[in-house]
Amino acid sequence: MAGESDPLVASEKGYGATGASKESPTIQPLMTRVKETLALFWYLGFIAFGGPTAHVAILRDHLVSVNKFIDEEIFTELFALGQGLPGPSSTQLVISTASTHGGAISGAIVFACWILPGFVVLTLSGLFLYGLIDASNPPIWLLGIGPAAMALIGKAAYKFVQKVDTFGFAIGLVACAVAVMISGDEHYAPNVSQVVFPAVLVGGGILCFLDYYRGEGSSIGTYYRSQGGSSEPTEKDRMLVEKIGLSIFQGTVYFCVWLGLLVGSITIVHMTNSSNLMLDMFEVFFRVGSLVFGGGIVVLPMLQTELVPRGWVTNDQFFQGLGIAQAMPGPMFNFAAFLGAVTNGFPGSLVASAGIFGPGFILIFAMLPFWSRFRHLAWFKAALKGLNASAIGLIVAGFINLYPKSVRTHADTMVFVLTGGLGTVYKFQAPYVIFWGCMLGALFSSEILDVGQKSVFAMI
């Protein structure tokens, strides 16, 4: 459009402004762009409460609405891209949005700033919490954390569902049903999700891709379609590629690094019968991080299935740590720091975090050069939309599968309902929801009011 300029180049006012002419927009030096990016991102890890849905809202308001750092269209595409990759979707959104201005180096530095606050608190919790309490007989103030955490997960799942159209909703329904089936059927091994989840996501992308090609007026879903039939990249597209600064070759190298680490760690652990706890931990967390689609909610049942049977953490420790993670700013994947610290101290926290974050961190850099070169193609947008719909279905399935494991008594149910109302209707932020979960759980416990102690699932 005539007179329109890239909001991330020197000709624009605000971030990136140096007074350059609008007629000849230029890209600033890399280190200048890195400093500008860090100025916007460094503190977000301290204020990003509420889980992935809230993270997306915070990032959109901060980057799109307030600071005009990135276009709405690019922001939405990067969100869908993260949903279609394994790993923490909000973290990948942070990395990718930073990289569109300051390149891969900005993405890596911003990633560290984003996870650091939650990592520190959860590591300390894992190191010292169970030196102060008995995990088999937790204090009453911990009893309501699990139900309150489930209330937050349910809220996030509901918000995601509201974002899809009718065709996407149908895809999500199928994905949810499949995920629930394989997690609750004795005919399927728990690790079958490692194949089924990626297949469901790819299937959603293919369905939307095919539906898009039925043509406008005939397709079931709603899609972006290029105007005038042109699919040539604009000058803005070319500048985006240059600012990201990653070539197709480099993206391929990143992908090979991820694949090598995945295959290598699995081979070493399973073919050599390794008894090295740190190596076993890295293999488990890196494998889970490579196979979980849909963000932090989906990873929870997978981690529980892997860690609790091995005896690394107890079921109660798992949900107590989950409640603490829900109350922290930053990504849910920081939960791995708590689990690693409980399992093997501070070294375990580092290994678990590196393992769980590693795949998403590597793969977002692998995909950025491809996305930046193909993003002007409408069919590519349609495929991302299908991936997103399937990912939302897996999020809902994660909530369904986890609910009976954390909401076990009528008292738990009361905590779940009350904290869910606080978070959903009265817009309480996650730390306050968890706080009231602790208070209500203690109030309903056998040591105070002694109400609702009967199991919800007891046979009548």
The residue behind tokens 């991330």 is: 8
E strands along 156-271, which residues?
Answer: none
Task: Report CA torsion sign: 254, 258, 259, 263.
Answer: positive
**CA distance linking residue 424 with residue 124, whole number of Å:** 30
- What single string gives the DSSP state of each residue in 36-78? HHHHHHTTHHHH--SHHHHHHHHHIIIIIIIS--S-HHHHHHH
CA dist 357 → 41, 88, 317, 360 (Å): 19, 7, 21, 6
- Please give the structure tokens belonging to residue 312: 């690394």
d(CA 221, CA 235): 30
| Residue type (1 letter), 395 | I
Phi–psi pair at 137, nearest 5 degrees: -140, 70
Look at the alpha carbons of 239, 242, 243, 248 in this order and tell me if their dihedral is positive or negative. Answer: positive
SS3 86: strand
Residue in this structure with the two tokens 């090598």, named with its chain if needed = 260
pLDDT at 457: 80
Give strand pairing partners of 384. Answer: none
- Which pLDDT tens digits describe the chain residue by residue (460 residues)? 434 343 434 433 344 433 434 444 678 888 999 999 999 999 888 878 766 766 877 788 788 877 889 887 788 778 878 877 888 888 999 999 999 999 999 999 999 999 999 999 899 988 887 665 555 566 788 788 888 878 887 887 787 788 788 999 999 999 999 988 887 677 776 567 667 877 888 899 999 999 998 988 888 988 877 654 446 667 777 888 889 999 999 999 999 999 999 999 999 988 877 678 999 999 999 998 987 765 566 678 778 888 988 899 988 888 888 878 877 788 889 999 999 999 999 999 999 999 999 999 999 999 999 998 887 778 887 887 888 788 788 778 878 888 888 898 999 999 999 999 998 899 887 778 888 998 999 999 999 999 999 998 865 4
Q: What's the confidence (pLDDT) of residue 171?
A: 95
Answer yes or no: are the C-beta atoms of 193 and 179 closer than 8 Å: yes
In one-letter notation, the amino acid at residue 196 is: V
Asked if 366 and 155 count as a contact pair (C-beta separation under 8 A), the reply is no
Secondary structure of 296-359 in HEC code, one letter for each residue: HHHHHHHHHHHHCCCCCCCHHHHHHHHHHHHHCCCCHHHHHHHHHHHHHHHHHHHHHHHHHHHH
Domain boundaries, given as residue ranges, for the chain: 42-143+150-228+246-406
pLDDT of residue 12: 39
> How high is the pLDDT of residue 11?
38
In this prediction the pTM is: 0.71
159 φ/ψ angles, rounded to the nearest 5 degrees: -65, -40
Burial (0-12, 13-18, 19+ Cβ within 10 Å), 354: middle
